[in-house]
Amino acid sequence: MAKVGSIVLGGKDKQKLSAIAFPLNKVSSIDKTFFFKEEDDDWEVEFANGNAMVVARTNSILYKTGIMEKGFKVIQKALDLISIKRKIHLSIRGSEDDYIVLFNKNGDLIMQHVDKSEFGVRISAKCNRSILLDEKRPLKMDVFYYNMVFLCLTL
């Protein structure tokens, strides 16, 4: 059985074979489970008081992309209901960049945590070229320029 905080993500013992969890923009102040019928699948969406994650799970065995699409859709429905009925405004934070998904692959349950972090990389290069001028051999500037550019590009 896999848990996200106090919320059960899924597992064979709970017969929840496909699930996804997203972080919320703030910690949930409610304990509520919503039930949805999405195409042929029965979905549960659970919020737990004091937990900053929301979980959508189903008994159906789905591919990872199906879990992400359908799970996101039912979570959005639940968020809309909470916003309208309870006047609590929650939203998913970074749906494509941060999530936990539970899926079935060849009979095994796989839990995958995806968290994309962005950071800058700075690269600089400096080219120094010394030329020995030979009075007997004239300097050809076009060849020198070409070699200088090629040298800088290969660093």
The 10 Å Cβ neighbour count of residue 72 is 17
Identify the pLDDT of residue 134. 52
Consecutive 10-residue averages of pLDDT for the chain (155 residues)? 82 77 92 87 92 92 89 93 87 82 86 81 65 52 48 48
For 71: left if phi > 0, alpha if psi spans -120 to 50, otherwise beta; the answer is alpha
Give bridge partners of residue 19 from the DSSP assignment.
57, 102
Identify the pLDDT of residue 151. 47
Spell out the domain ranges in the chain. 2-115
